[in-house]
Amino acid sequence: MSDFNLKAATQEYATRLGDDAVVLGHRLSEWTSNGPFLEEDIALSNVALDYIGRARMYYTYAAELAGNGKTEDDFAYTRDMREYRNLLIHELPRGDFAYTMVRQLLVDVFNTYYLPELAKSADSTLAGIAQKAIKETRYHLRRSHEWTLRLGDGTEASHQRMQRALESLWGYTHELFDADPLELQLADAGIGVHNAALRPTWLAQVSAILTEATLTVPKDDWAVRGGRVGYHTENLGHLLNDMQFLHRAYPGCQW
Amino acid sequence: MVTKSIPVLPFAWYERAQRRKQSALTPIWEVLDQVKDPEIPVLSIWDLGVLCDLQAIDGKYVVSITPTYSGCPAMETIRADIAAALEAAQLQPYEIVTRLSPAWTTDWLSPQGREQLQAYGIAPPAGGGCAHAQGLTPEAGIECPHCSSSNTRRISEFGSTACKALFQCQDCQEPFDYFKHF
């Protein structure tokens, strides 16, 4: 495409990755003071913080590329639901602990393969953010892996909850491997990642962990998409309401 | 079990130390040594590895810092503290830049920083990448900073801050923080 503007596309891509991170980070932060026990409360808050940190780095970069005086806060707090471009799996409500852990497993395995690819990006800032995030994801995955085994192969009740969570999340995983023309062109330009190519490895590792946890890998018989074009589930509206309220009520407030 | 061995300094630390040694800005490095990590106040940002570089470019002091973890909430305070230290020493103009790459690693901790952590009651990161699979926190065997026993167990992968895990000593029974290898 001749009118392909690399800088604008990179800015959009950084914004999308920031949206993914801030939305999941917010969902995880909802466990703060609600964790099943103290250590787990702290762990989930730590993971949330890692994601919010990533969001800040991606947004700061997007703001730098935009070069119009906007800051990371404008990206997080002043964009409406339809302007958010996060993949839907990140915005779904936190659910019970099993649901949160299954989502983390699916996303952590994805990041385990996605981030090393982004770390090779020709864009040094995106590569730098990915290199930091890889190390954190290693810790995240070890934990979601252990919890999956413990709960999947635990009691009848924990097994059921895990399987139920898995069934209701599976249809949202397909979107992780989609790419629109913008992402494809960025991948071709050596800046983005060819997501689709990651699915076989992702599926193999996720399946191995689920099988070890005595869980059944769901069938690929439904899929929901739309996050990257701004079509969201109603949940994102509620999340943004919560997250953006203060900033919208008192623009530019500081303490 | 962690076995005692001759401490071999990571190459990454050696590189940092050389950069500082060869710099002509010794007094300014020393001003920056006053800036401590707000969450571990015994540790200077140099000893922690957050302070990457100091240069004089076009009559301006350029201080490069790097976050430990992506979401490290201490970065804002560290920036403010660097600014305050430089201004108090009348070292202006200056610029504080954040560098993301190469990613911070516990290999950048100075030998002095490791000792200070230990004295403060935090077990310093064990070994380099080869000591544990992928460098992740082991389940047991981190030496207790209080009684030096290696009969310890991990209570939680994530401790009071992102950079620490929580352990307990089975001998003296004290819980302690372990600064994770990262």
Predicted-assembly ipTM surpassing the 0.95 threshold: no
Interatomic CA distance for residues A24 and A88, integer angstroms = 10
Partner-chain contact A53 B71, CB within 8 Å: yes
- Per-residue pLDDT, B8: 67
A55-59: Cβ within 8 A, 24+ apart: A55/A18, A55/A19, A55/A21, A55/A22, A55/A25, A56/A18, A56/B70, A56/B71, A57/A129, A57/A132, A57/B70, A57/B100, A58/A14, A58/A15, A58/A17, A58/A18, A58/A21, A58/A129, A59/A14, A59/A15, A59/A18, A59/A22
Instruction: Please report residues of B whose CB lies closer than 8 A to that of A25.
Output: 71
Partner-chain contact A139 B157, CB within 8 Å: yes
Q: Which CATH class is domain A6-249?
A: mainly alpha
Q: Which of A38, A42, A112 should be substituted to probe chain B, the one whose Cβ sees the most B Cβ atoms within 10 Å? A: A42
What is the band of B158 on the pLDDT scale with cuts at 50, 70, 90? Answer: confident
Sign of CA dihedral B26, B27, B28, B33: positive
Largest CA distance in chain B: 57
Partner-chain contact A49 B159, CB within 8 Å: no
Among A52, A125, A139, the residue with its CB nearest the CB of B100 is: A125
What is the band of B7 on the pLDDT scale with cuts at 50, 70, 90? Answer: low
Q: What is the pLDDT of residues B47-78, one digit of tens each?
A: 999 999 999 999 999 999 999 988 888 899 99
pLDDT beneath 50: ranges in chain A:
1-2
Q: What is the pLDDT of residues B27-55, one digit of tens each?
A: 999 999 999 999 889 999 999 999 999 99
Instruction: Answer yes or no: are the C-beta atoms of B52 and B39 closer than 8 Å.
Output: no
Q: What is the pLDDT of residues A31-66, one digit of tens each?
A: 999 998 888 999 999 999 999 999 999 999 999 999
In chain B, the domains with their CATH numbers are 11-107 (3.30.300.130), 121-179 (no CATH)
Spatial CB neighbours of A25, under 8 Å, sequence gap ≥ 6: A48, A49, A50, A51, A52, A54, A55, B71
- Per-residue pLDDT, A1: 46
Partner-chain contact B101 A131, CB within 8 Å: yes
Q: What is the pLDDT of residues B136-151, one digit of tens each?
A: 888 899 999 999 999 9
